[in-house]
Amino acid sequence: MRRLIPFLALFVFLPASAAAGPTNGCPVPCSGQISSPEGTQLLYVQPAGVGGPVHAYDTASGGRVFSLPAGITSADGRSHVVAREFRLGTVISRLGVGQPPSVRTSVLVGGRWRVAGVSPNGRFAALVRQSRDRRSTDATIVDLTRRRIARQLDLRGDFEVETVSNDGKRLFLIEHLAASKTKYLVRLFDLSRGRLATKTLRGKGEPSVMAGYAWSGIGSPDGRWLLTLYLNSDRELAFVHALNLVTSTPTCIFLPGRGSFASLKGYSLTLSPDGRKLYAANTALGVISEIELAGRKVVRTARFARGARAGTGPTMAGTISRTGRMLYFSGGRDLFAYDAAYGLVRGPYPTGGRLRGYGFGLGDRRVHALRADGRMVTFDAATGKRI
């Protein structure tokens, strides 16, 4: 059974306004890249990580302005997709990430589903449910613009959705192998033809069976890249799985330095505003690397005095100025600054507590950090001096 619902008041928000324009405000994971949407003074944080609730704070007052329910935010920062179960099935809603937020579209899908992936432009959502023994995976692709189910899949095996392409023609999957907890295959499902590609996706010279544990990731707003941090505890190293969503080609980019699984978890990923470079920073190892995505290789590495890492969950993405020169990152407590023009790291800059999120403010002149105790602390972006 399936029904389409043009409008459904599922969530309590402030009164709806006109659709918000393009923002840089809430990439995945939230509280990263450029955290304050252009022309506003909002800091978005997602304390529970990808899939959790999103909270928007006023950087001037430090107060919470609004919240979004648990869900997945599109990489372009415009949409937040959530699921809510009802007696008739699961309602999938696309919310506008604006001030105030609003319900743009809703679709009712029969059965119980969870949102596993969202296309970078927020148009398509991939829903998943699995058998208890994880030997079969059902997936439904919902077109949230046309308010309809685009494709339903019945896959044999333990599959995990990575993302859907912007045009809704390709579904990227990870197939976990039953014999191992860390070995996997990168698969492509052709949604236009309704079939799973026989060959696995792999880079030139790379084995078909990959090994690692996915820890965190971000997508580029233009829909070209899905960048996932993988940890390999056996070899004590980390690598970025760079998946080009346009050419359907993956590449593993190994990060310099080795360490324990606990220290490798300290890596944070930040994408440059022009989408050409990825920064991988780790305060526990005292290293930050610049990755050139076109060449898919590390082009520069800087080392600095190690800092403490707070927390056990995925590290928050860093925050970068709109010019792409200054990057701030953290292990969960203190802030560090990286000057991309000179390849130098400054800091640490103490915040006085565990962090929920941080980001550049209006005009890139300040960096705001929200602590777990609810207090907002502010730093001069150029000097790192606390204001």
Reply yes or no on whether the pLDDT at 126 is more than 70.
Answer: yes
Beta strands in 46-113 (DSSP E): 54-58, 64-68, 72-73, 79-86, 89-96, 102-109
Contact predicate 360/323, CB 8 Å: no
The span from the CA of 80 to the CA of 366, in Å, is 27
Distance separating alpha carbons of residues 238 and 253, to the nearest angstrom = 9
Q: What span, in angstroms and rounded, lies between the C-alpha atoms of 289 and 287?
A: 7
The predicted pLDDT at position 330 comes to 93
Contact 5, 88 (CB under 8 A): no
Instruction: Locate the domains of the chain by residue range.
Output: 213-387
Which range has the worst mean pLDDT, 20-29, 136-145, 278-287, 373-382?
Answer: 20-29
Q: How far apart are CA 265 and CA 331, in angstroms?
A: 10
**Whether CATH 2.130.10.10 fits 213-387:** yes
* SS3 of residue 56 by DSSP: strand
Is the pLDDT higher at 63 or at 28? 63
Which DSSP category does 364 fall into? Answer: G
Report for 5-14, 167-176, 206-215: range of highest mean pLDDT: 167-176
Burial 179-208 (b: 16+ CB within 10 A, else e): eeebebbbbbbebeeeebeeebbbbeeeee
| Distance, CA of 127 to CA of 89 (rounded, Å) | 12
pLDDT at 161 over 80: yes
Phi-psi region of 342 (alpha: psi -120 to 50; beta: other; left: phi over 0): alpha
Other beta carbons less than 10 A from residue 140's beta carbon: 23
Which one-letter DSSP state was computed for residue 283?
T
pLDDT of residue 8: 32
Nearest in space to 113 (alpha carbons), one of 87, 152, 139, 94:
139
Give 100 or 261, the one with higher predicted confidence: 261
Residue 322 and residue 273 in contact, taking contact as beta carbons nearer than 8 Å: yes
Predicted TM-score (pTM) of the model is 0.86
Q: Is 70 exceeded by the pLDDT of residue 364?
A: yes
Task: Give the residues across from 129 on adjacent strands.
Answer: 138
Does residue 14 register a pLDDT over 90?
Answer: no
Cβ atoms of 29 and 218 closer than 8 Å: yes
Q: Which two tokens stand for residue 234?
A: 């056996």
Residue 291 contacts residue 280 (beta carbons within 8 Å): yes
| Average pLDDT in the chain | 84
Sorting pLDDT into bands at 50, 70 and 90, what band is 289?
very high
